[in-house]
Chains A and B, each alone.
Chain A
């Protein structure tokens, strides 16, 4: 395992109390694999990744759990040392994450000379290589970020992330803001780089299709917790947690024959409230009294889920395919 996240707790203090943005999430990233971190807005996926990079917002703090990188538990000092050299980041919006007053080339050289062992000359040579690697013309090194199109900026951001040859890449919604065709091109860049450089990668996204296209494994998050994880093929084909089943049914599929999408009624819980048990209970059509008690991740092999009724997963999955199943939980809707 290149990265292990163990019972991570991230709390934000807000005016209306403490929000548990990440509430005991655990997952691992095997060496040389792409792990998709999936969930809806507010599920804690971005917070988790930013916590690993050590850049939480000022009102946020790590309240518990630990992050282990290559067997070494990370604290503030190790995080500072590992950043960018071993763990690099690809942002959602490359536009706002590049400094507008410097050329892209200058920013590449900056990180290589200040954080790497490059001289200015070797940094410049490496910039050319990097641009070539992500499919950008080296002449564009002299351009400012605003002179790039969206897709090119994203490529530049990937080049930036690879500058110090990290072994782990954390990509936060790297293609969400892009048009489909450009999105596909960027995904292909990530795929080929991952294979050529034998990178490990965490891909944060809300889009199951992106996970299906790019990832080897998937971790599904809901309300600050991990509800299911496993190989992409298994999780998408045979989801074991009702939330994953719901997500799968609600997700549009260009090629499927079913012309019906099934909504999950209701909305995620308020993370500032004290919560216990399965967070999905109010929206879950299969909830039972026992679900009020926290469930640990369980399952045989790599495919695990945090559901009290995990043993009945196959039956529930069949039931979940029927839209009427999900209407039954609508008494909780709009609460």
Chain B
């Protein structure tokens, strides 16, 4: 299938205040949130982006929704470059691409009733008012909020986290989008509620034929959502493969450490030391070459000299490592 979203060498730098020395040298230090990211999201696919805090995954999601502009590189949506979207075409894009938020307690305007929150996208999209009630109702049905009209006049603080996340999803789905970005959609929810939201995400993707990108720090959860996973480290994709491959046969040393670190609910799990050293370096001054080399147990001189490219190894498996 053709790709719906294509990212080509996308770079995003956030400037930081410069020191006098840096001004004198003419240096422009920046936090390199994204440092050359290239991948496609196929039509109807579900892709997970996994990494630790500060790896750039949230920035990536924002760029794909045109909530921020890349410093370099290009992103296309349905074949059209996103940089050029303005006016009516931007509004059209907004109708097609939606976001599910991490914190449902913050994602709804506390002064809006639940109905008001879900009807808002319809107002913004200029949908005929006569259709509002029906479309809101069908969005609520999609997210399985039983007796939905009981909620319409309530305010967000009167609902539980799980209910709020369903309302947030109803709002995202009310315009009938094709593309959904979900940024840590369950990390703020209790375990017993999580599973329901995950199942719902999977269900709406199948029934509505959505293309989806899930951003998460939790490899264990991602397994239940996506067939394909990208692992990011310091603004770069280090591994891109089917999720089961990532979990069972990680190839990049960082992915190996990440998979090994995930605790499992089994008292007999391995407690071997992690194959990783030190801490994540300052994103303003990442190491030369491979940015993981200072923590990698297998680092060699070449890693410092040459930045490893993301290369396909097996079918659908890409790794950015000189060892591979």
A interface with B by C-beta (< 8 Å): 40-41, 149, 151-152, 179-185, 187-188, 191, 206-213, 232-233, 236-237, 246-256, 259-265, 267, 333-334
A-B contacts counted at CB < 8 A amount to 125
* A191 CB contacts on chain B under 8 angstroms: 271
A207 to chain B, nearest CB (A): 7
B223 touches A247 (CB 8 A): no
Tell me whether B14 is interfacial, beta carbon within 8 Å.
Answer: no
B163 touches A259 (CB 8 A): no
Tell me whether B266 is interfacial, beta carbon within 8 Å.
Answer: yes
Contact among B145, B192, B264, B279 with A264 in the assembled complex (CB-CB below 8 Å): B192
Tell me whether B20 is interfacial, beta carbon within 8 Å.
Answer: no
Those of B169-206 within 8 Å (CB) of chain A: 190-199
Give Cα A210 to B267, complex, Å. 9
A179 touches B52 (CB 8 A): yes
At the interface, is chain A mostly helix, strand, loop or mixed? helix
For the A-B complex with A260-B224, A264-B195 known, give 5 more contacts whose Cβ atoms are closer than 8 Å: A183-B261, A212-B266, A212-B267, A254-B264, A334-B145
B308 to chain A, nearest CB (A): 20
- The interface on chain B, measured as residues whose beta carbon lies within 8 A of the other chain's beta carbons, has a size of 44
* A265 CB contacts on chain B under 8 angstroms: 196
A206 touches B190 (CB 8 A): yes
Given A181-B274, A184-B274, the answer on whether A263 and B192 have CB atoms closer than 8 Å is yes
Tell me whether B262 is interfacial, beta carbon within 8 Å.
Answer: yes
7 A-B interface contacts by CB (under 8 A): A179-B53, A213-B263, A233-B267, A252-B218, A253-B265, A260-B224, A265-B196
Give Cα A232 to B267, complex, Å. 7
* A182 CB contacts on chain B under 8 angstroms: 52, 279
B191 touches A180 (CB 8 A): no
Question: Per-position contact with A for B142-174: 1 when CB-CB < 8 Å, else 0?
Answer: 000111000000000000101100000000000
B265 touches A251 (CB 8 A): yes
Given A247-B191, A254-B223, A254-B259, the answer on whether A267 and B162 have CB atoms closer than 8 Å is yes
A267 touches B264 (CB 8 A): no
Tell me whether B12 is interfacial, beta carbon within 8 Å.
Answer: no
* B163 CB contacts on chain A under 8 angstroms: 334
* B221 CB contacts on chain A under 8 angstroms: 252
* A255 CB contacts on chain B under 8 angstroms: 247, 264, 266, 269
Given A252-B221, A334-B163, the answer on whether A40 and B190 have CB atoms closer than 8 Å is yes
Given A179-B52, A252-B218, A252-B220, the answer on whether A261 and B198 have CB atoms closer than 8 Å is yes
A334 touches B147 (CB 8 A): yes
Give Cα A256 to B248, complex, Å. 11
Tell me whether B257 is interfacial, beta carbon within 8 Å.
Answer: yes
Contact among A181, A212, A232, A252 with B261 in the assembled complex (CB-CB below 8 Å): A181
A7 to chain B, nearest CB (A): 26
Given A246-B192, A261-B198, the answer on whether A210 and B263 have CB atoms closer than 8 Å is yes
- Nearest A residue (CB) for B188: A41
Q: Which 5 A-B pairs have the closest CB atoms?
A: A263-B196, A209-B263, A261-B195, A263-B195, A264-B192
- Nearest A residue (CB) for B186: A252
Those of B216-236 within 8 Å (CB) of chain A: 217-221, 223-224
A181 touches B194 (CB 8 A): no
Give Cα A178 to B199, complex, Å. 26
Give Cα A246 to B266, complex, Å. 16
A184 touches B218 (CB 8 A): no
Give Cα A205 to B53, complex, Å. 21
- Nearest B residue (CB) for A40: B190
B234 to chain A, nearest CB (A): 13
Give Cα A213 to B264, complex, Å. 7
* B37 CB contacts on chain A under 8 angstroms: none
